[in-house]
Amino acid sequence: MAAKRKRTKTTKRKYSPSASADVEQEMHEFKRGEARSGRSGKKVKSRKQAIAIGLSKARRKGKRVPAAPSKRKRS
């Protein structure tokens, strides 16, 4: 009798490679001091903001990126 092989569960990437490229581009702009926030046009000051902007741009382009965490309402 042949030994049974264990099946490994394959998982799909959460972020597409092109979405990662968008975040990388935004980080590059941030490091050079050129990253600007959307509507106000103010300079981005934190690394987390730059990543969030890159992910937001990727979402708008329709790339595979998990949905942004929804804000909870207080009751």
pLDDT digits (tens, 9 = 90+) for 42-56: 999 999 999 999 999
Angle at the Cα of 31 from the Cα atoms of 14 and 15, rounded to 5 degrees: 5
Look at the pTM and tell me if it is higher than 0.85: no
Distance between CA 63 and CA 17 in Å, rounded? 9
DSSP 33: T
Cα(33)–Cα(45) distance, rounded to whole angstroms?
9
Angstrom distance (rounded) from CA 20 to CA 60: 14
In contact, 20 and 64? CB cutoff 8 Å: no
Q: What is the pLDDT of residues 1-38, one digit of tens each?
A: 667 777 777 888 899 999 999 999 999 999 999 999 88
